Amino acid sequence: MITEIIDAAYDFEGQQIYHPSKNINKLWHPTFKMEFYANCKVENKFNSIEELRKFLMTCSYKSDRDQFDKDDYWMPPNDFEKSRSGDCDDFALYTWRQFIEMGMKSLYNIGLGGRYDIGHAWVTLSLDGKNFLVEPLARKVKKLPRYFQLRYKPDISVEFIENKMIYYKHKIPNYYPTLKDIVYYGVEWLLFYTSLIPKSIYYLTLNVSKKIFNKNKPHKK
């Protein structure tokens, strides 16, 4: 769910702008004012990122079309808390709201993400002098390899400071990894995905077993 940012590969700070609009980014169209998302009351109070991650593990992905019959709808964090389902922006807004509640410096990001470079939302976080990328949809994994962030290209982000919204425009850095980076982060990436194989086999076996059990389970007449 979280990975430390490689500073040369990710424009964390960005350049402050007055206010984003559809002319700046077609993906930026919140359903409500951003102040509402940052201030709305949430019932759950978490003391750590790990507690938040465990809650997100109880939530499921659901598109806006399936849930609201709309092409795009940024769900308020308190509604997400109740439904426990939503798409990337709903997961990210809730995570951002909880980081604000915990008093952490965090930004809600809109840009391109994933292997297919499609519109996406995620969160960045500053903690103990380091910057992190948080992917709420990858909630089943505590720590992600640092090369995972290369899939993310932030465009617009927002930070809530002293009851004010501060917006930033980001650029894509020209990151040219050194041989040392390739070896170090490459090995980290390889070890991470290798470690997922046993877990994948376990969950696949478990799902197949459940299907077989349900199929052979006697039906009540």
CA distance 217 to 206: 16
Specify whether 108 is located in the same domain as 217.
Answer: no
In this prediction, residue 94 carries a pLDDT of: 98
Whether residue 86 sits in one domain with residue 18: yes
Closest CA to 159 of 109, 212, 220, 85: 109
Q: What is the per-residue pLDDT for 219?
A: 55
Reported residue count of the chain is 221
Q: What is the pLDDT of residue 196?
A: 76
Beta partners for residue 71, in sequence order: none
- Same-domain check for residues 166 and 202: no
Instruction: Give the bridge partners for 118, in sequence order.
Output: 113
Contact between 90 and 84 (Cβ < 8 Å): no
**Which residues are CB-neighbours of 171 under 8 A, at least 6 positions away?**
11, 14, 15
CATH of the domain at 142: 3.10.620
Whole-angstrom distance, CA of residue 36 vs CA of residue 77:
9
Residues 26-38 have pLDDT tens digits of: 888 899 999 999 9
Please check whether residues 114 and 22 belong to one and the same domain: yes
- Write out the two tokens for 54: 């465990």
Query: Per-residue confidence of the chain (221 residues) as pLDDT tens digits?
Result: 999 999 999 999 999 998 887 666 788 889 999 999 999 999 999 999 999 999 999 999 999 999 999 999 999 999 999 999 999 999 999 999 999 999 999 999 999 987 667 899 999 999 999 999 999 999 999 999 999 999 999 999 999 999 999 999 999 999 999 999 999 999 998 888 888 776 666 556 766 565 565 656 565 55
- Distance from C-alpha of 28 to C-alpha of 178, rounded to nearest angstrom: 35
Indicate the pairing of strand 2-4 with strand 130-134: antiparallel
What is the tally of structural domains in the chain? 2
Per-residue pLDDT reduced to its tens digit, 181-207: 999 999 998 888 888 776 666 556 766
The CA-based dihedral angle spanning residues 95, 99, 100, 106, taken in that order and rounded to the nearest 10 degrees: -90
Q: What are the DSSP E strand ranges found in the chain?
A: 2-4, 15-17, 60-61, 85-86, 105-113, 118-127, 130-134, 153-161, 164-169
Q: Let me know whether 161 and 182 are in one domain.
A: no
Based on the fold, state whether residues 156 and 187 are members of the same structural domain.
no
Report yes or no: 166 and 26 within 8 Å, Cβ to Cβ.
no
Residues 211 and 117 in one domain: no
Residues 166 and 131 in one domain: yes
Residues 183, 81 share a domain = no
Residue 191 domain boundaries: 177-221
- The pLDDT of residue 160: 97
CA–CA distance, 112 with 23 (Å, rounded to integer): 16
Q: Are residues 68 and 171 in the same domain?
A: yes
Statement to judge: residues 196 and 167 lie in one domain: no
Q: How far is CA 140 from the centre of its chain?
A: 12
- Chain segment 46-60, per-residue pLDDT in tens: 999 999 999 999 999
Distance CA 45, CA 66 (A): 29
Judge if 187 and 88 occupy the same domain.
no
Tokens in use for 165? 């919204």
